[in-house]
Amino acid sequence: MVPERGEGARPPATELTPVEPGGRQFIESYGPGRFRISGRLHEGSVLILPERTNPWPVADMAGVTLGGLAAVTGAEPPADILLLGCGVRMRPVAADLRAALRAAGIALEPMDTGAAARTYNLLVAEDRRVAAALIALPGGN
């Protein structure tokens, strides 16, 4: 059990408005070091595809590589958009990574992780082909 208040307590998770995603992954909440996606708690950073969520061993933008996004670039059907949650705030993306994703037909949209989570849910609700690579916010255990 995670304490809610007092010393050592985790800040509360940010709840997102639920929408029925029709069998697709949906971000219910996020907080320091964690995400609740389609009823399951995921610790750490995640790659979210329409049909599944994978752990993503990335702690910051220095760890974001094309190889680390292979689940997204190799997905069938492919995503049109990849939302990159950069952590607490948006960070620049390496030009070679952006170019490689563009060559694969994927538009990369970097933003802070909270904005990426909210945008992902909106695009899923619009039935768009979207994936998200979300760097967990600091402060998780």
pLDDT digits (tens, 9 = 90+) for 26-73: 999 999 999 999 999 999 999 999 899 999 999 999 999 999 999 999
CB neighbour class for 38 (10 Å; exposed up to 12, middle 13-18, buried from 19): middle
Q: Write down the domain spans for the chain.
A: 15-134
User: What pLDDT shows up at residue 5?
Assistant: 40
Question: CATH classification of 15-134, choosing from 3.40.50.10490, 3.40.1230.10, 3.40.50.2300, 3.30.70.260?
Answer: 3.40.1230.10
How far apart, in whole angstroms, are the C-alpha atoms of residue 29 and residue 128?
20
Find the largest Cα–Cα distance for the chain. 49
Top-confidence residue, 21 or 102: 102
Region 89-99 average pLDDT: 96
User: What pLDDT shows up at residue 139?
Assistant: 86
Structure tokens at 118: 């909210």
Top-confidence residue, 1 or 47: 47
Distances (CA, A) of 56 to 2, 11, 53, 127, 128: 23, 22, 9, 24, 22
Lowest-confidence region among 10-14, 97-101, 131-135: 10-14
User: What pLDDT shows up at residue 3?
Assistant: 34
Q: In the predicted model, is pLDDT for residue 11 greater than 60?
A: no
CA atoms within 13 Å, Cβ hemisphere of 89 = 2
DSSP the chain: ---SSSTTPPPPPEE------TTS--EEEEEBTEEEETTEEEES-EEEETTEEEE---SSGGG--TGGGHHHHT-SSPPSEEEEE-SSS-----HHHHHHHHHTT-EEEEE-HHHHHHHHHHHHHTT--EEEEEPPBTT--
